[in-house]
Amino acid sequence: MKINTITNWAYGLTVLLTALSGAAFIASINSSAEERMAVETHLILNELGEELAIGAELRTDEARLYVMRGDPDHLEAFERTDQAEMALEESARDGTRLGTTPEETAFLNRIIADIDALQEMERAAIKAYQAGNIDRARGLLFGGAHYQAHLKLIDDVVQFRRMVQSRTDRELDTAHQRSDWFEFVAQISLALTATVFLGVLYFVLRRRVAVPLARMAGIVKRLASQDYEVEVPLDRRRDEIGELNRAVHVFRENGLERERLDAERRRDIKIKDLILKLMHRVQACQSLDELGDVLARYAPQIFPDLSGTLYLRADGHETLHCVSRWQTSFDDPLEIICEACWALRRGRAHYSALESKEDVICNHLADPNVSTLCIPLAAQGETIGLLSFSGAETSTEVAREDRVYLELIAENVALAAVNLNLRTRLSQLVEHDPLTGLLNRRSLDVAFGDFVQNPPILPTACLMIDIDHFKRINDEFGHEAGDTVMQSFAGLLREVVGDSGACYRFGGEEFVVILPDHDVDAAHEIAEDIRTRTAKMAIAHRGQSLGKVTISIGLAVAASAGALDTLLSRADSALLQAKVTGRNITLHETLELAPS
């Protein structure tokens, strides 16, 4: 056979094999395009489900804020959010355009139904609030039905996303298998082409085809196993090898982007789950210290690269005290004044970053070189503290995309702190006398009721105290002067008794002191100290002296648990005897008169 014929046959065979190889690679590239389309559809549907859930949550938040604060701005924000949610629902209803299956379309309709159910409850709550039925409005928004409906919405969104993920995985597997098959065909064709070229055009095949394909085969295999860390050197040639190289390069970039998006999605889901757990736990806290401990436990899990400090303000003070901090140096101040923080001045979050020179720096920062986000804690129109987040290291910055979550955490911490302060105030009003600050009659009754379950240390003494001639003070100087006398005496009573016992305002001008682990002599000594120091008090009201104030004291002691039941009545009886005897005396229930 002539060399020319062999060359022509080799040329024809080479052309045929090259065409087959190119077709296989093009088919592989088309499979990659199908993968991208599947991923894009997955991202669109995932984003749609997430936006529906977030929109419903934002609408709920605005409805709750409106019934809590009554601010029309929140009602307007509610309506805007509702309009945006309706637009999303219209997009969701057109599921075929989005590439959904009938089963996914049915799930989208189920999610829309959940959102509509929440909307009905929220609008009913707003109508109830506008009608003046605030309790019903809050009950609808914060009650179990709304909570269960919200949980159902979240559960349906999660199931929908799982369904989309499952379908996407199947489509990606099919595309991967098709791509692998075409790759195999291409490799066989290229191998045959290499054999022909080795016999006819050895040097051309070696320099232009064999070496690049050998390198590309390893890259494609690693990419097929989803090893996107492999480097793909960009080949500028204009032949089929160059196109294949660029296609593989695009495939690698798409794979890296897909991994990045998946990592962001997993991080976002983890953050939301942790924030949800944090919200549930801060609402169940019983004290501000417990609130700080919960925040310090969860904040590093949510944002491990950020340190933080929680400052809270006591009633009527302009100084903020550190309640909790995490992943921060001990150089940070334990107390700051409100004017030192620009976030508290402006009433909104403030970002301090020295290197950017974009804004002013808060004066309370221990290290101004560390980027810090300060978020004021405000709820129900009251600024109660500050939550600051900084980079755990000097080079770490607070990411802008994380600030929404940080502000959400701050809002929930503020609500929990306000609720705890309100609970404390209510407890003070229930247990303490508003005029003197002493424990009230109700607290005394509760204490005697607790003696049945938890008896005090015996012997226990009881002092029943009455301010002598108190009516004369009211008649001569006025009731405000009488209030001044009782407040002054209450302060002296707290000072003398201290940690030895508990002081109560029994009613009117009568007071009770319970002294556990005090016998007659010890209790009598304290009673005499109270009586003598009261007689020496110089009390004035509006610049006018109220004269000498004296007291009468009845003393009773319970040496056994059975005597506790009559302890108060016996002390009261001793007080009556003291008043009959001549006042300004301490009288034991056995009628032993103390020198006056």
Q: Which helix (H) or strand (E) holds 510?
A: strand 510-515
- For residues 587 and 577, is the Cβ–Cβ distance under 8 A? yes
Residue type, 507: G
**586-588 and 551-558 as β-strands: parallel, antiparallel, unpaired?**
parallel
Query: CA-CA distance, 557 to 555, in Å (whole number)?
Result: 7
- Per the listing, tokens 């008090």 go with 537
Phi and psi of 506, rounded to 5°?
A: -80, -35
Q: What is the DSSP string of 268-286?
A: HHHHHHHHHHHHHHHHT-S
ω into 459 cis (within 30 of 0): yes
Q: What residues does 372 pair with on adjacent strands?
A: 352, 390
Q: Is residue 243 flagged as an active site residue?
A: no
- For residues 417 and 312, is the Cβ–Cβ distance under 8 A? yes
Token readout for 214 is 């050998």
Nearest to 12 by CA among 567, 261, 20, 376: 20
Query: CA-CA distance, 362 to 352, in Å (whole number)?
Result: 7
- Per the listing, tokens 């060399």 go with 3
Give the active site residue among 509, 525, 528, 592.
509
Query: CA-CA distance, 511 to 529, in Å (whole number)?
Result: 15
Exposure of 543 in the CB half-sphere (CA atoms within 13 A): 0
Provide the angle, in degrees to the nearest 10, between the axes of the packed helices 240-283 and 3-69. Answer: 20
**For the chain, what is the radius of gyration of the CA atoms?**
40
With the CA atoms of 88, 94, 100 and 102 taken in that order, what torsion angle do they form, in degrees rounded to the nearest 10? 120
The dihedral sign for the CA sequence 464, 468, 471, 474: negative
Catalytic residue set: 509
